[in-house]
Chains A and B, each alone.
Chain A
Amino acid sequence: EAGVTQSPTHLIKTRGQQVTLRCSPISGHTSVYWYQQALGLGLQFLLWYDEGEERNRGNFPPRFSGRQFPNYSSELNVNALELEDSALYLCASSRSRIEQFFGPGTRLTVL
């Protein structure tokens, strides 16, 4: 069974730019979660999508947004990038709402 996949693996942007990160869940999983892992800060919950709808979001500004497509894949968009947005962005998928299966992450560097 293929795991959660994310693209790209690494990304370098400059302040003010916009970025789109992509996530493909495990087949059969309808929920996708996004997390930000900045250095030394642990995992911060960003967004939860289920059946195409945003179900919940963490304490992040509106410039962090996303969507989930009919095939349950998801995009995370970050507008007006700031230096502190540099982090590892992790996507997880779930079917049972008990376990979340995480992808390898996208490492974003903002210069």
Chain B
Amino acid sequence: DAKTTQPPSMDCAEGRAANLPCNHSTISGNEYVYWYRQIHSQGPQYIIHGLKNNETNEMASLIITEDRKSSTLILPHATLRDTAVYYCIVRVTATSGTYKYIFGTGTRLKVLA
């Protein structure tokens, strides 16, 4: 199974872009990269996902390297409410068509006023 590696913690100034890296060097060609975040005492919240191309939505942008061995989640203008643990996840698909999500330990992002 592909595994993800993330820095344990990061700080970011409010209003600046937060760039959260993730390594997934053993990812296979059909495995998607997902990002979730978990604000203290709440369930994880979906942010974005991608396979090969860069993706953008109202919350964030996802940049995936050409070799797919790493990705970066970008929060363009971080706010205090973005303080959370951010999980980079690989969705592993089995030949039977089933899949499971492999979570890492996440990056604890602290947005500073």
Contact = CB atoms under 8 A, between A and B. Distances in A.
Contacts of B102: 45
14 contacts: A42-B105, A43-B103, A44-B103, A45-B100, A48-B98, A55-B98, A55-B99, A56-B98, A98-B46, A98-B49, A99-B46, A100-B101, A102-B43, A102-B45
Interface in B55-113: 87, 94, 98-106
A102 B43 CA distance: 5
B44 interface: yes
A44 B99 CA distance: 14
Across chains A and B, which 6 residue pairs bring their CB atoms closest together, nearest first? A102-B43, A43-B103, A42-B105, A99-B46, A55-B98, A56-B98
A45 B43 contact: no
Size bin of chain A's contact surface? 20 to 34
A45 B34 CA distance: 14
Interface string A83-108: 00000001010000111111111000
A42 B45 contact: no
Contacts, number: 52
B43 A104 contact: yes
Contact of A42 (B98, B100, B106): B106
A42 B87 contact: yes
Contact of A56 (B36, B46, B99): B99
A35 interface: yes
A61 interface: no
A33 B43 contact: no
Nearest to B46: A99
Given A41-B105, A42-B105, A43-B103, A102 B98 contact: no
Contacts of A57: 100
Contacts of B42: 102, 104
A58 interface: yes
B15 to A, nearest CB: 28
A78 interface: no
